């Protein structure tokens, strides 16, 4: 009997990642023979760790904070959505030895917002907090949904402006310039600050009536961003667990050619 194909999630930090359990549940559901683990790489050591994994027979990697842009530069070939995002969260070993980069973040976020949470993007005012690899990954898919407006806000305004400049019609500002911008229908926190129990100071008037606040990170309790949104009356507050499962299902399909059912996995991870 052949050994199971080897996959892993690479990041820093990565000890909190639920990806091994998610992919174990996908494998059980689909009958696909895989083994999945975590790889923590030094902040300047992504390429060396990824190279060693694939050279040792690894079949694929999920890429998380802070390596999505580094993975995009490292991959030999890129999917259309990875090129659009300029960020990679999924790497696959090809038969010819090359490494193919894809990005499933946008598809995962949209499925969770639209299908699981009933949040529409078309025609709405969107605020994206953060301008790193996670923001890059979701922007192309969000823009395909024709939102009414997209504003990117980042602690360093210049980084937000560089990202916005790549997307016609997208505006950018520093976090300190958010006061006076009015209310947004959908607020997306793409920063990882919540993993350290932190969040930037945000004015409460950013939440329009009926607003949805979504944190791309996930935790056992409310993140600081989610707690802020609840205090200021958001109609819907969610973490990124649903997105994590949905993008993982997309990655699983990239690797194995099978798209698992996500609802039972989300329920299992929520303790249902």
Confirm whether residue 105 is marked as ligand binding. yes
Give the mean pLDDT of 169-177. Answer: 96
Give the mean pLDDT of 151-177. Answer: 96
pLDDT given for residue 134 in this prediction: 87
Q: Does the annotation mark 80 as catalytic?
A: no
pLDDT given for residue 195 in this prediction: 65
pLDDT tens across 237-269, in order? 999 999 999 999 999 999 999 999 999 999 999
Which of 61-65, 131-135, 159-163, 193-197 is the least confident region? 193-197
* Percent share of the chain, pLDDT over 70: 98
Confirm whether residue 111 is marked as ligand binding. no
pLDDT tens across 52-96, in order? 999 999 999 999 989 999 999 999 999 999 999 999 999 999 999
* Count of beta carbons in the 10 Å neighbourhood of residue 202: 20
Q: Which two tokens stand for residue 264?
A: 């039972």
Q: Using alpha carbons, list the distances in angstroms from residue 206 to 99, 127, 193, 213.
A: 42, 9, 19, 10
Half-sphere exposure of 227 (CA within 13 A, CB side): 12
Confirm whether residue 130 is marked as ligand binding. yes
- What is the chain written as a DSSP string? -PPPEEEEEEESS-TT--HHHHHHHHHHHHT--EEEEEEE--TT-HHHHHHHHHHTT--EEEE-TT-HHHHHHH-SEE-HHHHHHT--SEEEE-TTS-EEEE--HHHHHHIIIIIIS----TT-EEEEE--SHHHHHHHHHHHHT--SEEEEEESSHHHHHHHHHTSTT-EEEEGGG-TTS--EEEEEE--SGGGGT------GGGEEEEEEEEESS--SS--HHHHHHHHTT-SEEE-SHHHHHHHHHHHHHHHHS-----HHHHHHHTT-
pLDDT tens across 94-153, in order? 999 999 999 999 999 999 999 999 999 999 999 999 998 889 999 999 999 999 999 999
Active-site position among 6, 23, 68, 99: 68
Confirm whether residue 154 is marked as ligand binding. yes
pLDDT tens across 201-231, in order? 899 999 999 999 999 988 889 999 999 999 9
Confidence of residue 173 (pLDDT cuts 50, 70, 90): very high
Confirm whether residue 218 is marked as ligand binding. yes
Q: Which two tokens stand for residue 56?
A: 């040792």
pLDDT tens across 8-35, in order? 999 999 998 999 999 999 999 999 999 9
């Amino acid at each position: 009997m052949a050994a199971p194909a080897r996959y892993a999630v690479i990041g820093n930090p990565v000890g909190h990642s639920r990806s091994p359990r998610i992919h174990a549940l996908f494998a059980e559901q689909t009958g696909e023979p895989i083994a999945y683990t975590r790889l923590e790489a030094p902040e300047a050591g992504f390429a060396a760790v990824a190279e060693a994994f694939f050279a040792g027979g690894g079949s694929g990697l999920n890429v998380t904070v802070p390596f999505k842009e580094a993975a995009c530069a490292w991959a030999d070939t890129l999917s259309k959505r990875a090129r659009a995002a300029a960020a990679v969260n999924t790497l696959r070993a090809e038969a010819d030895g090359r490494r193919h980069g894809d990005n499933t973040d946008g598809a995962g976020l949209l499925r969770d917002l639209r299908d699981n949470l009933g949040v529409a993007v078309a025609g709405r005012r969107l605020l994206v907090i953060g301008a790193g690899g996670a923001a890059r990954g979701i922007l192309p898919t969000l823009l395909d949904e024709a939102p009414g407006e997209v504003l990117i806000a980042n602690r360093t305004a210049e980084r937000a402006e560089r990202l916005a400049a790549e997307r016609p019609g997208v505006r950018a500002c520093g976090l300190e310039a958010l006061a006076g911008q009015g209310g947004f229908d959908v607020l997306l926190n793409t920063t990882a600050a919540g993993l350290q129990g932190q969040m930037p100071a945000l004015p409460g008037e950013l939440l329009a009536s009926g607003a949805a606040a979504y944190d791309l990170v996930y935790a056992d309790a409310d993140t600081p961003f989610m707690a802020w949104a609840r205090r200021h009356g958001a109609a819907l507050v969610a973490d990124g667990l649903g997105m994590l499962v949905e993008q993982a299902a997309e990655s699983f399909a990239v690797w194995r050619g099978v798209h698992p059912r996500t609802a039972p996995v989300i329920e299992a991870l929520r303790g249902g």
